[in-house]
Structure 1
Amino acid sequence: MKFSEGIQKAIPFGYLFLIILGIFKEGVMFYQLGVNILKYSTITDILISPIVDLASFPVILILLIVLIAFSYYFPAYLSKKSDKEWVKRLAGLKGKGELDNERLANHFTNLFVKFMALTLFSFFVGIGLGKGLGLSRRIKEDVLEYKTTLNFSSGEAEQVYLINSNSLYYFYLKKGNKNIKIAPIGAIKSVELPTSKEFK
């Protein structure tokens, strides 16, 4: 099966969709922490934000690949079963006359592109909401572990809880202070991450 018109139309909007996903995910998360993340981010930071989450959780990446494959091949399967009543009901084509296989495949593909977009949007907004709620709760309960060390260019060093970072800033919390601190990348000489349990 060749790429249908629905897929071809969706590809140019891929970057725009990633930006929208990043804006909502990051915005929802940092809003709960009292930070307007858009003031501290570039378009590139927002664009790669969903990709970073996918790379951080291999299971999520595998599920996304399965979802994309499903959204690509299932419409082809449905178009071959277009004479079945359940397929017509699923597509909302009952009473609309017969469609040729190509138009029918395009119709099903458009349906599943919309389904996939809605699923991804809900998924990433859910990630942002979950991360923000979880972090704000742990800040209030003061149960964070301050295992990351930031070595500043001035020679000072601080034990912190590193919330996030992008191409411009580090976002972190210092022990004993519930206010989020934002340090420009240029102010940090190095970052010492906690040792993985595998190396202990």
Structure 2
Amino acid sequence: MKFSETLQKILPFGYLFLVILGILKESIYYYQVGINILKYSNIMDILISPIADLTSTPLILSVFIVYLIILYIINLLLTKNFNKDWLKKRINLKKPISEITEEEVKTFCSKLIIGILAVGLLSFFLGIGLGSGVKVAKKISKNTLNYDYKMKFGDDEISDIFLIGSNSSYYFYVEKGSRNVKISPVLAIKSIEIIKNKRLNK
């Protein structure tokens, strides 16, 4: 079975896998600051979460694309060497090496590459969720946050905040002078101003 055919068959399951990874990443990240994010998320937040993470910065998107290209090239190199004994030995089928067919080698290679891709994505999402969450939690507990946003509420009150995150319904943040995590509905906020824009204020 060709790699492209294998990919087409598992694509729906692949996206489901991505969604599960997105949920895990969000849950781990927000758990570090005491929030059960699933209580504040709707189905759309969950579905777009993995795509939003992979496209969050040009660097992450570029690395992901390069990773896919490298895996594809490795798959091509392996399948071109389908008649090599060293590759057939890896398949570990219960029959002589001479009887292993090209199709069996290609199927093995496709499954191997997809497995490597799955492990890579799992490591990325769990690493981002755990690492970012721990970093934010430490900054909150040590009161070393950078308050890069001004939030204007419905009553025109304005506060300097550190924005932990947001989804389609809620903002999660810490106000300057406090170590308490606050949750506000999107409809209760008039505007958010970026005070320190890293892309513009260089």
For 2:159, what is the secondary structure of its paired residue?
A: strand
State whether residues 3 and 106 of structure 2, in contact with CA within 8 Å, keep that contact through their aligned partners in structure 1. no
State whether residues 80 and 101 of structure 1, in contact with CA within 8 Å, keep that contact through their aligned partners in structure 2. no
- Shift of residue 93, structure 1, vs aligned partner: 4.7
Residues 1:84 and 1:93: Cα distance change in structure 2 (over 3 Å) = farther
Instruction: Tell me the equivalent position of 1:143.
Output: 144
- For 1:1-200, what aligned pairs fall within 5 Å after superposition? 3-93=3-93, 95=95, 97=97, 98-197=99-198, 198-199=200-201
State whether residues 2 and 106 of structure 2, in contact with CA within 8 Å, keep that contact through their aligned partners in structure 1. no
Q: Matches of 1:171 and 1:190 in 2, distance apart?
A: 14
Q: Matches of 2:96 and 2:50 in 1, distance apart?
A: 39
For 1:158, what is the secondary structure of its paired residue?
A: strand
- Shift of residue 156, structure 1, vs aligned partner: 1.4
Q: Matches of 1:46 and 1:143 in 2, distance apart?
A: 30
State whether residues 149 and 196 of structure 2, in contact with CA within 8 Å, keep that contact through their aligned partners in structure 1. no
How many residues are matched?
Answer: 200
Per-residue displacement from partner, 1:45-99 (whole Å, max 9, x unpaired)?
1222232232232222122112222333422321221232332344445855433
> Given residue 141 of structure 2, which amino acid in structure 1 is its aligned partner?
K
Q: Matches of 2:5 and 2:156 in 1, distance apart?
A: 58
Q: Which runs of 5+ in 2 are unaligned?
A: none
Q: CA RMSD in A?
A: 2.1
- Shift of residue 11, structure 1, vs aligned partner: 0.8
Normalised by the length of structure 2, the TM-score is 0.88
Farther-moved stretch of structure 1 (125-134 vs 17-26):
17-26
Residues 1:199 and 1:175: Cα distance change in structure 2 (over 3 Å) = closer
Q: Percent identity?
A: 47
Residues 1:70 and 1:91: Cα distance change in structure 2 (over 3 Å) = farther
Q: Matches of 1:118 and 1:19 in 2, distance apart?
A: 15
For 1:33, what is the secondary structure of its paired residue?
A: coil
